[in-house]
Amino acid sequence: MKEFQIGNNEKNQRLDKYLKKLLSQAPGSFIYKMLRKKNITLNGKKADGSEKLQLGDEVKLFLSEETWTKFSKAPARTYPRISLDIIYEDENILAINKPAGMLSQKGKHSDISANEYIIGYLLGKQELTEEELKTFRPSVCNRLDRNTSGLLIAGKSLKGLQELGAQLQSRSAEKYYLCLVKGKISESRLLEGWLSKDEIRNQVKVTQTEVPGSKHIQTACMPVETFTVEQQGDFTLLNVRLITGRSHQIRAHLAALGYPVLGDHKYGDKHINTWGYRELGIQSQLLHASLIKLADGRTLEAPVSGIFQKTLDFLRTHR
């Protein structure tokens, strides 16, 4: 017999959903059969799976050790323990400064993403156990493209996941990015347009007028610093507020208006990208998630570093 007590990260979900996490290899028909036969009970009573779990509830599974092992053993996962650039942490959320090149979430089973690194970090701090991972997994709430660096926030608890998810969905959390673009932008602008996505090519297109299947976008741009480089012309460091938050919005929107992000090989300028690579070793877009203002007033900020900072230093000394 196995006995489990519902904690803060398991409460407020249906019993059958909880059991499908606990017995992740079991078919749903097996779980409902065990409930009907009272081989699985809730607070000592028969249940049908639709019950909403409350803090302190007791779930008992009267299963043989062989059956338990067969249906509860999840595929082996890897949680590497690396040094993370922690920006902020409390009992519910964790914010890191993600380097360019790190995935936010898995694309395929063999990938190692920020999610796995964060879980590895929490396992190493003993704030999380392998057993707890069967029914609750901390997870990243805001996705960044692989080659976009910056602020990545994860929910460590169910409360953290739910509150962050709600803020991001309602846009009550304000997201700001820094990017370096070709061309000179001398005043703040609110950019509007329509974005269409080609799912097969994973590429978007921005137009000034609505076309079938397109979505309205808004991007607020504020110039921070401008540079002029001999033979290469003007560059602008922009502080961008992502108002609507569509896929590739900042990169595609700025490129469509003639201000491609330096290092962006999907939407950028081939000539200037070649110069950036030869001169500075820039291999991906200089786009950085720099700041998030949460609805409760907290502000989380991640400084630029690495190749982005190296490029700014170069431009400041060569203008």
Summarised one tens digit per residue, pLDDT across range 171-207 is 899 999 999 999 999 999 999 999 999 888 889 999 9
Question: Residue 73: pLDDT band by 50, 70, 90 thresholds?
Answer: confident
CATH number among 3.40.50.12280, 3.30.2350.10, 3.40.50.300, 2.40.30.10, domain 174-317: 3.30.2350.10
What integer pLDDT is reported at residue 45 of this predicted model?
A: 95
pLDDT at 278 over 90: yes
* % of the chain beyond a pLDDT of 90: 84
Contact 252, 204 (CB under 8 A): yes
* % of the chain beyond a pLDDT of 70: 99
HEC profile for the chain? CEEEECCCCCCCCEHHHHHHHHCCCCCHHHHHHHHHCCCEEECCEECCCCCECCCCCEEEECCCHHHHHHHHCCCCCCCCCCCCCEEEECCCEEEEEECCCCCCCCCCCCCCCHHHHHHHHHHHCCCCCCCHHHCCCCEECCCCCCCCEEEEEEECCHHHHHHHHHHHHHCCCEEEEEEEEECCCCCCEEEEEEEEEECCCCEEEEECCCCCCCEEEEEEEEEEEEEEECCCEEEEEEEEEECCCCCCHHHHHHHHCCCCECCCCCCCCHHHHHHHHHHHCCCCCCEEEEEEECCCCCEEECCCCHHHHHHHHHHHHCC
pLDDT at 116 over 80: yes
Beta-strand pair 174-182/2-5: unpaired
Q: Residue 161's closest CA among 135, 140, 133?
A: 140
pLDDT at 76 over 90: no
Contact 18, 11 (CB under 8 A): no
The CA-CA-CA angle for residues 115, 117, 122, to 5°, reads 95
pLDDT at 264 over 80: yes
- The CATH superfamily assigned to 2-72 is RNA-binding S4 domain (3.10.290.10)
Give the integer Cα–Cα distance in Å for 102 and 106. Answer: 10
What integer pLDDT is reported at residue 18 of this predicted model?
A: 95
Question: Residue 108: pLDDT band by 50, 70, 90 thresholds?
Answer: confident
pTM: 0.86
Domain 86-170 has CATH 3.30.2350.10: yes
**Domain segments of the chain as ranges:** 2-72, 86-170, 174-317
Common-topology check for domains 2-72 and 174-317: no
Q: Is residue 232 packed enough to be buried (19+ CB in 10 Å), middle (13-18) or exposed (0-12)?
A: middle
